[in-house]
Chain A
Amino acid sequence: MADKILKKLKIKVWRQKNAKSKGKFETYTIENISTGSSFLEMMDILNFQLIEAGIDPIAFDHDCREGICGTCSLYINGRPHGPDTEVTTCQLHMRKFKDGETIVIEPWRARAFPVIKDLVVDRTAFEKILQAGGFVSVNTGGVPDANTIPIPKEDAEESMDAAACIGCGACVAACKNASAMLFVSAKVSHLAKLPQGKVEAASRAKNMVAKMDELGFGGCTNTQACEAECPKSISITNIARLNREYLCAKVSE
Chain B
Amino acid sequence: MSILDNKIPEGPLAEKWNKHKAAIKVVSPANKRKLEIIVVGTGLGGASAAASLAELGYKVKAFCYQDSPRRAHSIAAQGGINAAKNYQNDNDSVYRLFYDTIKGGDYRAREANVYRLAEVSPNIIDQCVAQGVPFGREYGGLLDNRSFGGVLVSRTFYARGQTGQQLLIGAYQALNRQISKGAVEMYNRHEMLDLVKIDGKARGIIARDLVSGEIKRFGAHAVVVATGGYGNVFFLSTNAMGSNGSVAWQCYKRGAFMSNPCFVQIHPTCIPVHGDQQSKLTLMSESLRNDGRVWVPKKKEDAVKLQKGELHPNDIADEDRDFYLERRYPSYGNLVPRDVASRAAKERCDAGFGVNSEGKAVFLDFKYAIDRLGKSVIEARYGNLFQMYEKITDVDPYKAPMMIYPAIHYSMGGTWVDYNLMTSVPGLYSIGEANFSDHGANRLGASALMQGLADGYFVLPYTIGDYLADEIMTPMADTNAPEFAAVEKEVTDRIEKLYNIKGSKPVDYFHKKLGQVMWDYVGMARNAEGLKKAIEMIKEIRAEFWKDVRIPGELDNLNPELEKAGRVADFFDIGELMARDALDRNESCGGHFREESATEEGEAKRNDEEFTYVSCWEYKGEGAEPDMHKEDLVFENVKLTQRSYK
Contacts and interface: CB of A to CB of B under 8 A. Distances in A.
Nearest to B174: A135
Nearest to A32: B277
Nearest to B558: A117
B391 A87 contact: yes
B180 A132 contact: yes
Contacts of A123: 67-68
B500 interface: no
B134 A122 contact: no
B561 A194 contact: no
A2 interface: yes
A220 interface: no
Given A36-B275, A130-B176, A71 B66 contact: yes
B388 A91 contact: yes
Contacts of A26: none
B433 to A, nearest CB: 15
A244 B506 CA distance: 53
Given A48-B506, A153-B139, A36 B71 contact: no
Contacts of B131: 135-136, 138, 196
Contacts of B139: 153
Contacts of A41: 277-280
Interface stretch (B161-169, B537-545, B615-623): B161-169
Contact of A131 (B67, B179, B242): B179
Nearest to B505: A52
Given A37-B275, A64-B240, A144-B126, A1 B394 contact: yes
Contacts of B391: 67, 84, 86-87, 91, 93
Which secondary structure dominates where chain A touches chain B?
loop
Contacts of B85: 146
B394 A95 contact: yes
A68 B51 contact: no
Interface residues of B, number: 87
Contacts of B242: 63
B274 interface: yes
A140 interface: yes
Nearest to A121: B67
B191 to A, nearest CB: 13
B126 A44 contact: no
Contact of B141 (A40, A95, A135, A151): A151
A136 B140 contact: no
A172 interface: no
Contact of A163 (B134, B142, B393): B134
Contacts of A77: none
Nearest to A37: B277
A184 B104 CA distance: 42
17 contacts: A34-B275, A41-B278, A47-B506, A51-B506, A63-B240, A68-B75, A91-B392, A93-B391, A124-B188, A127-B176, A130-B172, A131-B176, A134-B176, A136-B173, A140-B52, A145-B126, A163-B169
Given A36-B394, A63-B66, A91-B388, 6 more contacts: A36-B275, A51-B506, A52-B505, A57-B553, A69-B75, A194-B134
Interface of B: 48, 51-52, 55, 66-68, 70-73, 75-76, 85, 87, 122-123, 125-132, 134-143, 159-160, 162, 164-166, 169, 172-174, 176-177, 179-180, 186, 188, 211, 238, 240-242, 274-275, 277-280, 282-283, 309, 387-388, 391-395, 457-458, 461, 504-506, 508-509, 550, 552-553, 557-558, 560-561
